[in-house]
Amino acid sequence: MRALKLQGRTVAMIAIIVPLVLVFAYVAMRSGPLAPVKVTVVRAQEGTVSPALFGIGTVEARHTHRIGPTLAGRVKRVDVHVGDRVRAGQLIGEMDAVDLSDRVRAQEATLKRAQAGIREAEARQAFAQAQARRYDKLSALQATSEELAITRRQEREIAEAGLIAAREALAGAQSERAALVAQLDNLKLVAPVDGVVTLREAEPGTTVVAGQAVVELIDPASLWINLRLDQVNAGGLASDLSADIVLRSRSAETLPGRVLRVEPKADAVTEELLAKVVFEHPPEPIPPIGELAEVTVALPLVQAAVVIPNAALRREAGEVGVWQVKEGRLQFAPLKLGATDLDGRVQVREGLTEGDEIVLYSERALSRDSRIDVVPSLPGAER
């Protein structure tokens, strides 16, 4: 009787208190620092590592032709615009001659004057020669004094010298004119190679100094990528390795390329190695100079090695290694590592054998005494 009477209340109390106490016990045991650490494990496997290097670079032209005048001057005309294709020898612009043509004309007058001078000297020389010849005959016949005959001979020599001087004056005048004409020709800006105009830096009327470029040309066939690689991640970089190039503006497209050369000088400030990567086929349209490119350089495959994911690597007491699971307990295994690839696979040289079970992911940092709870995937991390 008594038991029955109490039952309703007691059952209700038990129904509340017992679950409460159970939940409390669960809470006390399974949360906080006393709880085991959830981990996922993976087995070290025999596999291949396909190492690769990853770096970024900018598109550059191997040869950049900066075309400008050799003397300071004013731009007269520029015939090409940025993006125009030009052929070798094509006139692409001209500097203003300013007074150069007038100076040529003056030089021509000088030339004519020199020619007139020659004619005068020739006349003098002919007359002096005739006189000298006549006096020589007279002197032989004793028809005149020796004195006079010597004078006529001297006059002939002077006249000959005068002729030589006049001829030299003509040659000088001719060279000077030729120099001025050459200068006139130099005012023409001519493309030295086939190429594409990339810059048009001065417009007609602009005064430019000697050495300053008016037009910049590149040869599209000579485009390459100036690749920069972190020094620590550049092991194995060499010429003739194949490379995949992804241009920023065409991120969906992978262009085949090749390492042309590794620069003998590295960048000491940025701690990067420099290399030049060329396109196997010149890309069309031409990528803008200076565009960023991501380059993946494939290195030779590493065959048949024990391979683990790099997420498993930990550092413990100054050594790199992994947590090995042995009979439910943790043991740290220091490793010697080999090649790595961009997918996070790491070759193990020493420290693990195939089939060893290691901790891949963990909820917290682990220690030798951590209690672990092996789960297929960690909460929140599953996709």
Q: Can you tell me the distance from the alpha carbon of 159 to that of 119, in angstroms, rounded to the nearest whole number?
A: 12
Applying CB under 8 A, among 254, 310, 331, 367 the residue interacting with another protein is 310
User: Cα angle at 318 between 315 and 320, to 5 degrees?
Assistant: 40
Applying CB under 8 A, among 290, 318, 328, 376 the residue interacting with another protein is 318
Q: DSSP string of 193-260?
A: SSEEEEEE---TT-EE-TT--SEEEE-GGGEEEEEEEEGGG-TT--TT-EEEEEETTEEEEEEEEEEE
Strand order in the sheet with 302-309: 45-49, 302-309, 345-350, 336-340
Applying CB under 8 A, among 20, 123, 143, 161 the residue interacting with another protein is 20
DSSP secondary structure code for residue 377 in this structure: S
Which pair of tokens denotes residue 207?
């005064």
Applying CB under 8 A, among 44, 49, 55, 118 the residue interacting with another protein is 55
Residue 34 engages another protein in binding (rule: CB under 8 A): yes
Q: What are phi and psi of 175, to 5 degrees?
A: -60, -45
217 contacts 193 by C-beta, under 8 angstroms = yes
Report the nearest approach of another protein to the CB of residue 286 (Å).
22
In the bound state with another protein, the residue whose beta carbon lies nearer, of 170 and 360, is: 360
Convert residues 275-294 into a mask of x (bound to another protein by CB under 8 A) and - (unbound). Answer: -------------------x
Convert residues 162-201 into a mask of x (bound to another protein by CB under 8 A) and - (unbound). Answer: ----------------------------------------
Residue 376 engages another protein in binding (rule: CB under 8 A): no
Residue 383 engages another protein in binding (rule: CB under 8 A): yes
In the bound state with another protein, the residue whose beta carbon lies nearer, of 13 and 178, is: 13
Convert residues 77-116 into a mask of x (bound to another protein by CB under 8 A) and - (unbound). Answer: ----------------------------------------
Applying CB under 8 A, among 88, 178, 209, 304 the residue interacting with another protein is 209
Residue 252 engages another protein in binding (rule: CB under 8 A): no
**Three-class secondary structure of residue 58 per DSSP:** strand
- Rg over CA atoms, the chain: 46
Which long-range contacts does 257-266 make (Cβ < 8 Å, 24+ apart)? 257/225, 257/295, 259/227, 259/297, 260/224, 262/237, 262/238, 266/231
Residues that bind another protein (CB under 8 A): 1-2, 5, 9-10, 12-13, 16, 20-21, 23-24, 27-28, 31-34, 54-56, 209, 211-213, 229-230, 232-233, 269-270, 294, 309-311, 313-315, 317-318, 320-321, 337, 340-344, 346, 361-366, 377-378, 380-383
